[in-house]
Amino acid sequence: MLLNNFPNKLGGDRIGLWSAKLLFWGLAGFIFLNCLAFYSSYTPYSDDFAWILHCDHRFANVAEWFTRGATGYFVNYQGLVNPLHTANFRPLAAIFFYLASWFHPWMGYQSQLAMNYVLLIVVLWAYLRFLQRFTPLSDTVRWIVAAAFLVSPVWSDNYFYPSIRLHLLECAATLLASLLLPSAAGGSLFRRVVPAAIVSAGAVFAHELGIVAPLIVAWTHYHVSTRAGYRRKKAAGEALLIVAISIGLYLSVRLAFFQVSAQSGYQAYQAYHSKSPAAAVLGLLMRPFFPFETYVSGEALRSGGTLIGWWMVLLTLAVYILLAVGLIRNSRYRSDLRMLTGCAAIAAAPLVFAVVVRQMGILLIYCLPLAYLTVESSISVNANRLLLRRVGTALLAGAGALYIGAGIQSFVKARANWSSESIYCRSMRAELASAMQRGARHIFLINDPSAYFGSLAMLQLTARENGVTLADPTVVNQLALGKYEDARYTQDNGIMVECRGNVVSIQIELAPGRKFDFVAPPEMLLTRANASGGRYTFPYVQRTQHRDMLARSIVEKIDFGNRLVFNAPTACNSVGVVGFPGRGQLQPQIFLLTPPGSQAKN
């Protein structure tokens, strides 16, 4: 094959194979050493708190995984429920958090991260087996593709963030279900269909986007069966049966125990991430072969991007052009291209609504071998033309080097981000524990950057670990930045706190340019109190409307101004107000701590 030209020149296929294996294991060693650092310094972060609070065997109510799903897991404002996070039904993810928690007495919370590493090893093993069985790639190329798979930014967060294992579970279920498909004609219908259907259903129980797994497995089964000599109608019937069993199993369990409509979550997502269909499709089309959010996005063609980003765009366009030629022309790889293209198209379809790199795991399985076979197919017909072969080899070598180099860089950046976030998280939890040990039972958490959607869960988990029962724990000003370049919480101009007349008042002077999205819908925050009576006011709020030409609709923009005020009816005893103070300070502090039976002002 095309890349085997290199080892042939060096003296034989064996040298090329060993070089590819050396590349793979060298990258694996690099990641392993970094994972040791992640493991030794791991502390729960963001969504981890919610999953641990609800799924750790010390606290879990297993029945609620099925009856309530993830309702309430990521709601920081009790009483102001965000429907985006109430329609999640992910019992398989809960089960793996539960299993990992049994090792907590020996490993602490690192057991959750160790579970990620075990799943990564399973996925890599299954991927190598998948490439060997379902693609015509040579041994040398398989190891190179596996190396690119290993360093893809799709997996970067999985090395230090247990909550992202949802997508590892999706990929593991998809790959294992594919490997369970019969490799030859014959055998009972049960053996040919049921095991793969049941395992592929696991992807849907792990995450809603896993709904594509049964369809992909069915499509793969159809192609494998027709190649083995089955009639098309019979192969199609078995493929439909796989989909019916898998989706039927998921719907039966969900409808029997969990009646929250998934439509509410979709509508909430659209409200927060409104984007024209054209922009969404463009953003997805630019990423399947190079899923690097740093370099390539739907904005690349409008905002200029970077030099590396433009190379990725050009290479992506080249793959699309050659793929179209390969699908039309009758070549030796035409059937393989059809199978992989179909799998990639199915995996990509739901990503139009959420082009998030970490959710592209299933798509990555098929895009990497598809890109290689696309170039190989276009060159193999004209194999006697030395110039075309050299161009094709250079294209693949350049794309591979660019992918692996950018993958390593994305991993290093992810490590740097994790290091800073873990510092915030440890210091915040230590300050909260100090307040609890000094008698605080009514705790208000301000400007928490360490847990985001899991801030309330972090507060509750910290209380349980310290043997404390909190009364109405409250998260204040838990904000997500609209864009990374926006002014951050560390730039806020100060926080004033007082407790008088059984009312806790918190005033935050927001930094200029502080643009953000609340975790709860803004309209709720402006009009309703939370479950304990706390209410937000924004003295300088401004609303403007403009027409989005792409979406062809009126979009309202809310500028909350430079001041946020939160008032909550709370007896001024045993009150603790903890958070980050702004003004460039990166260390959390206790703003107010009143002992039992006191009245305080600060």
- DSSP assignment of 220-235 equals HHHHHHHHTT--HHHH
CA 575 to centroid of chain Cα atoms: 36
Tell me the CA distances in angstroms from 195 to 103, 170, 185, 226, one per residue in order: 30, 16, 16, 20
Tell me the CA distances in angstroms from 79 to 69, 519, 530, 563, one per residue in order: 18, 13, 5, 23
- Of 136, 180, 124, the closest CA to residue 364 belongs to 124
Give the model's pLDDT for residue 602.
Answer: 47
CB of 91 within 8 A of CB of 67?
no
Give the model's pLDDT for residue 99.
Answer: 94
For 278-288, write each residue's pLDDT tens digit: 667 777 788 88
For 325-356, write each residue's pLDDT tens digit: 888 877 778 888 899 999 999 999 888 876 67
For 212-250, write each residue's pLDDT tens digit: 999 999 999 999 888 877 888 888 899 999 999 999 999
Answer left, alpha or beta for residue 48, where phi above 0 means left and psi between -120 and 50 means alpha. Answer: alpha
Query: pLDDT over 90 for what percent of the chain?
Result: 21
Give the model's pLDDT for residue 130.
Answer: 95
CB of 143 within 8 A of CB of 20?
yes
Higher pLDDT, 244 or 471: 244
- d(CA 566, CA 599) in angstroms, rounded, equals 19
pTM of the model: 0.85
Give the model's pLDDT for residue 226.
Answer: 87
For 507-540, write each residue's pLDDT tens digit: 888 877 766 655 556 666 677 777 777 888 888 8
For 32-85, write each residue's pLDDT tens digit: 888 888 888 888 888 888 899 889 988 888 888 888 877 777 777 665 555 455
For 472-496, what is the HEC assignment? CCEEECCEEECCCCCCCHHHCCCEE
Residue range 449-457: mean pLDDT, rounded: 75
Residue range 262-290: mean pLDDT, rounded: 66
Query: pLDDT over 70 for what percent of the chain?
Result: 79
What residue ranges do the domains of the chain occupy? 42-263, 429-592
- d(CA 504, CA 563) in angstroms, rounded, equals 17
pLDDT at 448 over 70: yes
Give the model's pLDDT for residue 309.
Answer: 75
Give the model's pLDDT for residue 263.
Answer: 57
Best mean pLDDT range from 14-28, 394-408, 527-541: 14-28
For 382-449, what is the HEC assignment? CCCCHHHHHHHHHHHHHHHHHHHHHHHHHHHHHHHHHHHHHHHHHHHHHHHHHHHHCCCCEEEEECCC
Give the model's pLDDT for residue 123.
Answer: 95
Higher pLDDT, 272 or 212: 212
